[in-house]
Structure 1
Amino acid sequence: MRFQCPNCKEILSVDNAEIGAKVQCGKCQQIVTVPASRTAPGAVIADFIIEKELGRGGMGVVYLSHQISLDRSAALKILAENYAQNSEFVISFIKEARAAARLNHPHIVQAYAVGEDDGIYYFAMENVDGLTMKEILEKNHVIPVDQAVQIVQQIAEALDYAWKEQRLIHRDIKPDNIMLTSTGKAKLADLGLARHAGEKDSLDSEEEVMGTPQYISPEHLTGAPMDIRSDIYSLGATFYHFVTGQFPFNGSSVTEIAKKHLTDTLVPPNQVKKSIPQAVSDVIVKMMARDPNDRYQDAEELVEILRDIRKNKLSAPKLSVPSSVSAPIPRLNLQNSTSAPVPKLSIPGNAPKLNIPAPETSVSGGVPKLKLSTPAPAAAPAPQKTEEKKPEEEPKAEETPSAPKKTIPRKVIVLIVAVLVVLGLAGAGVWFVLSGNFEKVKDSVMKKAEEVAGPKPEPQPAPDAAPAEPKPEPQKSALIEEADKILKQAADNPSALEETASLCNGFLARFKEPKEEEREKYAAVETLAGQVREKLAAAKEAAAKAAEEKRKADEERRRREAEARRQREEADRKRKADEEAVRKYKGFANWVKGEKVKKIVPLVHSGNIAAAKREAQGLIDEPKRNQNKPAQVVREAKSLAGHGWWLKSKIESAEHIEKLLMNSSESELNRPQVTFKGNLGAVISIKNGIMTVESFGKSAEVPVKELKPRQKADLVARIARKNAKYFKDAVIWLIFNDAYKTAAELWWDRKDGDCKWFANTVLDMKIRAAGNNKAEKERLQKDKNLFK
């Protein structure tokens, strides 16, 4: 294993048997302790130094690490041993991780590397400075709707990008796999890792399922084909949890929860929590539709809907007040109050009175309507019953006609009136004195008396007493009074800079030349005016700076949005163009393969080997001509080049036989039999196309070109049977020269698969070229059947 020396930071290598032992660093010569395990802090896995454990899940353990080569922090996921021993899973794990690493999106946790180090399989990714949404939910229980909409929109953008770029789906969307950075940006984690195995959720410990049961889509449960709509369902379930604080479906076991995903009707979020807007609730319900065809068909559509909600383009939710809460506003009952009684105010004449009728049904929560009515002039107000105890009143004469009349003496009445008058005057006097009016009247009367009496003689001081000095009250000038007001206003309202500045400017414009005793106040106002001007200038500058920063930020945001939109459009155009280019090239590749065979066969048959090789070379050069094309086109071009090399090898096989029929020694031929001019002889050698044939002890020279096609085919087959090294070349030559029967008879000796494939390729080409010639097609099909 490898580990980092804690002193000099050198990377050291030791045997696994020395784990936990003390060794000497070869650089700093210090004694250091080897980490206790391959994944302990300080251990090195590939390019990463492990620092500490971050968390554990069903697939393995995540560590905080430091990437040596790029000097950056990284989260390193180490695959659990049970998965690392599954070769099929490991292959898929590496494939999916590499696909995820090709994705670069602001809302996807960036994948850095994937690989194996001495049996340990790892996946390195961006270390996000933030918390998972699961941790935030555990702390806050509910996510505010506006923040939840923003987070879901960003994750939907990530899913849309992954689907369109790599056809990747997450398969395990849940709060655990959504990170919220310290700056408030949402990031999708574990993209590409949840394809075959989901993390075990801490809320359920009965069994591990492929995906977390609270958020899993119905088609994931049933094993039906999955696409981006499956991720939209899981994101909808996560959205539901964000805004309601509850799972969409609950149960006592994984099986029960899964069944509810398949059978139960979803309770709309705004029925769980009334404050959730109708528009947001409708989006979640559509995202979680049981039938994928009823959901949003791609994440881009969902992103646009959420963006409209955030811009308040959708209609506000219609909130209704239930009749059970529609009640009239309670009336105040002052009659039974324990506070002091309130005097009644009587309004004379035909003043309107306020009638509060019985509550009427109202859409605004049952508040009763107020009606103002004016009673008829002649109608007396009806007496109202009240619970307070009224003082007893003397009965009127007309109400008690039978009561004897009592006469009060006149003297008594006069005495009572006099007493009341005295008491009233006394009370008025007391009020007059206590209210302060007495002093005012007294001063006025004394002043009038002094005016009538004339000047009062000054009292002569006593002989021993010093004369009293007058003490005149100092009077403030208008400037000082105005200055005091301004200074007090500034002290009482330090934030009212505009008002203070206006007062100072008016003061300085009004008073130009202060007197000696006014200079101090004048200078104070001048200083205040300067301070206020500086503060206003600073505030104006700060406001201008803030406005400019906001303008730049808005401009930058619009630029980024425009650039992102342009990049998306450009990527979409490129993707469509690439798809069209791939489609066209695949069609061209299928066509050109048949065309090349169609041209090469007659060229070889006529002996024009060089022209046949040029045709094959055209296919071999396809990758060079398409090296700047889309990756799929390049792959198709390479496949086409492989077909060209294959055809070229067949041309060279035929060329070998042609050269053998032009010049060959006795050892090469091994005296094959040949029929010529009705005679049967053995071919001794061939030189410049002239055979030396021996028959019955006599030799004769026979040109090869004088042999009939059937005789020439038989000679080639006999040469191959005499010399095994010419077997494959002979079969190919016979196919090029339409000697299918002879080729099939020779092929049956060994049943070479490559020869059979070539025969089928040539015969299929000729069957297509036969068109509507049924007889020719049947004959060629019989020849093809010879190779079965």
Structure 2
Amino acid sequence: MSPSSPFTAGPTRPGFVLEIVARVARVEPAALARAVGPTDAATVIDTLVARGIIDRVAARALTMVAAGELDERDLRQLIDPAAVRARLARGVPVAATVPLPLPLNAKLGRYTVRGVLGHGRGGPVYRSVHPLLGVPVAIKVAATAGPLRAEAAALVAAAHRNVVRLCDLDEAGGQALLVTDLGGESLARTLRRKHALAPRRVFRLARGVLAALCATHRAGFVHGDVKPGNVLAARSGPIQLCDFGSARRTAGPAPTVVEGTWPYAAPECFDAPGSPKSDIYSLAHTLYHALTGRPLVAGRDAAECRAGHLALDLDPLHWTVPGVGRAASDLIRRMAARDPDARPSAREALAAARTAFGPDDATGD
């Protein structure tokens, strides 16, 4: 969740990225800019995804095109011009559904906006500094307080060094604010720069997230959206699991929509409420992505992603990724089992990880 540019090379101004999408989708750049709204180089691609203009697979390819690592013609295979034009033609002001980001140094109650980290379901997520503690924080904004209060309750219940810490629950300018500490950059942003990570680094991430899931499940919650964007890592300090906006009590009412982010959601989440074992599946897919540089499942909608999950036949990682041993490969493959009953619990997976993934590094979790 760093505010730095996600591109590794080439021009990084927002207009350059929008010009690429406009050419591929054959739309007017001005119309695209109006739909996206104010943004900056670090968040323009996240904003395109949040507005529903491109999906996450196209976002990854767009990052590579902007960095000069992929031909623009390849991006044409992932962006449907008709779908983009239909999205732009709806004529609903963006602010009516997703509030536009505030400019730098704008005030949110007692907090000063230092950047836009991304976009949640209710609106932008801002970077700031806690005025009393002096530590970096993330501020999630919503039109109503109810969802953020539920998220705050989950964070308090799951309190653990590997779970982001709740710092504040406030209101400002008619909006509800949820403030959490900001422990580092998201894995999603890291993967945009580095494509894939060394196994030792991924195993450290896995241990941290498994510890967070142990605490979450022990508290009676399902996280519901484990993915690269919700895993934070700093150069020092613990790995942290963030964004409990999809969290719900294990015995709570069934959600009315598919839980999680489709490329990482467990197959059962497309038809019924997920369980703690669904979080384990999502973590396994996150680890595959981090180790191989690409998500295992891609699709334009829930139906395509569901079919992709059900059709998966995973190659063992120790066959394809140097540095991944047989024990680690087998554990991650069991975590990604199609049948929830075949997956280990978070506690079982964490216990197995201590052997399968080898000793932790000096920064340990």
TMscore range, shorter length: 0.5 to 0.7
Counterpart position of 2:91:
none
Per-residue CA deviations over 1:39-85 (Å, capped at 9, x if unaligned) read 44444434423333333344321222233344544221112xxxx26
Which runs of structure 2 are paired with 1:425-436 in the superposition (5 Å)? Answer: none
- Identical aligned residues as a percent: 27
Is residue 2:161 matched to residue 1:106?
A: yes
Is 1:151 the counterpart of 2:205? The answer is yes
Query: Any idea what SS the aligned residue of 2:210 has?
Result: helix
Q: Is the 8 A contact 2:118 2:124 kept in 1?
A: yes
**Is the Cα–Cα contact under 8 Å of residues 47 and 69 in structure 1 kept in the other structure?**
no
Please, what TM-score do these two structures have when normalized by structure 2?
Answer: 0.62
The SS at the match of 2:185 is strand
Give the conservation status (yes or no) of the 8 Å contact 1:115–1:123. yes
2:290 corresponds to which residue? Answer: 242
Give structure 2 stretches of 5+ with no counterpart: 1-99, 249-256
2:174 is aligned, of 107, 119, 140, to 119
Residue 333 of structure 2 aligns with which residue?
285
In structure 2, the CA distance between the partners of 1:242 and 1:66, relative to structure 1 (3 Å rule), is: closer
Q: Aligned partners of 1:158 and 1:195: how far apart in 2? A: 13
Structure 2 residue aligned with 1:211 = 260
Change (3 A) 1:251 1:38: closer
Give the distance between the partners of 2:201 and 2:135, measured in 1 at CA.
30
One-letter amino acid matched to 1:245: G
Q: Distance in 2 between matches of 1:252 and 1:91?
A: 30
Q: Determine helix, strand or coil for the equivalent of 1:64.
A: strand
Q: How does 1:70-89 map to 2 (within 5 A)?
A: 70-79=133-142, 84=143
Is 1:107–1:158's contact at 8 Å kept on the other side of the alignment? yes
Q: Distance in 2 between matches of 1:288 and 1:175?
A: 16
Counterpart of 2:164, as a letter, is V
Report the CA distance shift for 1:264/1:41 in structure 2 as closer, same or farther (over 3 A).
closer
- Aligned match of 2:221 in 143, 146, 168? 168
2:149 aligned with 1:94, yes or no? Answer: yes
| Alignment partners' CA distance in 1, 2:148 and 2:138 | 17
Change (3 A) 1:96 1:253: closer
SS at match of 1:107: coil
Residue 190 (structure 2) aligned to one of 119, 136, 154: 136
In structure 1, C-alpha distance between the alignment counterparts of 2:291 and 2:126, rounded to whole Å: 31
Determine if contact 1:105/1:161 at 8 Å carries over to the other structure.
Answer: yes
- Structure 2 equivalent of residue 747 of structure 1: none
After the TM superposition, which residues 259-658 of structure 1 pair with which residues of structure 2 at under 5 Å, given as runs?
A: 259-273=307-321, 276-296=324-344, 298-311=345-358
Q: Which amino acid aligns with 2:171?
A: E
1:377-430 Cα deviation digits (max 9, x unpaired): xxxxxxxxxxxxxxxxxxxxxxxxxxxxxxxxxxxxxxxxxxxxxxxxxxxxxx
Q: CA deviation at 1:236?
A: 0.7
Task: Supply the distance in 2 between the matched residues of 1:133 and 1:311 (Cα, whole angstroms).
Answer: 21
Aligned residue for 1:75, secondary structure, equals strand
Deviation at 1:275, TM superposition (A): 5.2
Structure with max Cα Rg: 1
Find the residue that maps to 1:279 and give its secondary structure. Answer: helix
Q: In the aligned structure 1, how far is the partner of 2:262 from the partner of 2:242?
A: 18
Query: SS of the residue aligned with 2:205?
Result: helix
Q: Which amino acid aligns with 1:233?
A: Y
**3-state secondary structure, aligned to 1:260:** helix
- The alpha carbon displacement at 1:170 in A equals 1.3
Q: Distance in 2 between matches of 1:246 and 1:72?
A: 33
Structure 1 unaligned spans of 5+: 1-36, 197-207, 313-553, 562-788
Q: Give the distance between the partners of 2:180 and 2:156, measured in 1 at CA.
A: 9
Q: Which amino acid aligns with 1:45?
A: L
Would you say the 8 A contact 1:101–1:112 is kept in 2?
A: no
Aligned position for 1:526: none
Distance 1:281 1:255 in 2: 28
Q: Is contact 1:153-1:303 (8 Å) kept? A: yes
Determine the C-alpha separation between the residues in 1 that align with 2:122 and 2:104. 20
Shift of 1:244: 2.0
Corresponding residue for 1:472? none
Amino acid paired to 2:131:
I
Report the Cα offset of residue 290 of structure 1: 1.2
- Once the two structures are TM-superposed, the CA of residue 153 in structure 1 deviates from its matched residue by 0.9
Alpha carbons 1:230, 1:292 under 8 Å: kept: yes
| 1:97, distance to aligned residue in structure 2 (A) | 1.6
2:264 partner amino acid: Y
What is the RMSD computed on CA atoms of the aligned residues? 2.9
State the distance in 1 between where 2:141 and 2:268 align: 30
Distance 1:257 1:67, change over 3 A: same
* Structure 2 CA distance for aligned equivalents of residues 59 and 269 of structure 1: 37
1:187–1:120 CA distance, 2 compared to 1 (3 A): same
Equivalent residue letter for 1:305: A
State whether residues 181 and 187 of structure 1, in contact with CA within 8 Å, keep that contact through their aligned partners in structure 2: no
| C-alpha contact 1:220 1:226 (8 A) present in aligned 2 | yes
Q: Deviations over 1:605-662 (max 9, x none)?
A: xxxxxxxxxxxxxxxxxxxxxxxxxxxxxxxxxxxxxxxxxxxxxxxxxxxxxxxxxx
8 A contact 2:155–2:163 mirrored in 1: no
CA–CA distance in structure 2, aligned partners of residues 38 and 214 of structure 1: 26
Residue 38 of structure 1 and its aligned partner are, at CA, apart by 9.8
Amino acid at match of 2:339: D
Match of 2:247 in 1: 195
SS at match of 1:125: strand
User: Compared with structure 1, are the counterparts of its residues 73 and 273 closer, same or farther at alpha carbon in structure 2 (3 Å cutoff)?
Assistant: closer
The structure richer in helix per residue is 1
Q: Alpha-carbon deviations, 1:3-24, whole Å to 9, x = none?
A: xxxxxxxxxxxxxxxxxxxxxx
Give the counterpart letter for 1:59 in structure 2: G
In the TM superposition, what is the alpha-carbon distance from 1:93 to its structure 2 partner? 3.2
Partner residue of 2:30?
Answer: none
Amino acid aligned to 1:68: P
SS at match of 2:178: strand
Distance 1:141 1:184 in 2: 23
**SS at 2:338's partner residue?**
coil
2:288–2:295 contact (8 Å) kept in structure 1: yes
Distance 2:324 2:133 in 1: 46
311 and 127 in structure 1: CA distance in 2 versus 1, 3 angstrom threshold: closer
Aligned to 1:178: 231
Using the TM superposition, give the Cα deviation of residue 212 of structure 1 relative to its aligned residue in structure 2, in angstroms.
1.4
User: In structure 2, what residue type is equivalent to 1:50?
Assistant: V
Could you tell me which residue of structure 2 aligns to residue 586 of structure 1? none
After alignment, is 110-119 or 65-74 more displaced? 65-74
Given that 1:97 and 1:123 are in contact with CA atoms closer than 8 Å, whether structure 2 keeps it comes out as: yes
Report the alpha carbon displacement of residue 286 of structure 1 after superposing the two structures with TM: 0.5
Report SS of the residue matched to 2:125: strand
Q: Distance in 2 between matches of 1:289 and 1:248?
A: 13
Aligned to 1:214, the other structure's residue is in SS state helix
Separation (CA, whole Å) in 2 of partners of 1:127 and 1:311: 28
Task: Give the TM-score, by structure 1 length.
Answer: 0.30
Q: How many residues align?
A: 256
Instruction: Tell whether the 8 Å contact from 2:155 to 2:164 is kept in structure 1 after alignment.
Output: no
State whether residues 109 and 173 of structure 2, in contact with CA within 8 Å, keep that contact through their aligned partners in structure 1. Answer: no
Write the deviation string for residues 240-265 of structure 1: whole angstroms up to 9, x where unpaired: 11222232234465422221213443
Deviation at 1:184?
6.3
Relative distance call for 1:44 and 1:245 in structure 2 (3 A) is: closer
Distance apart, 1:145 and its partner CA: 1.5
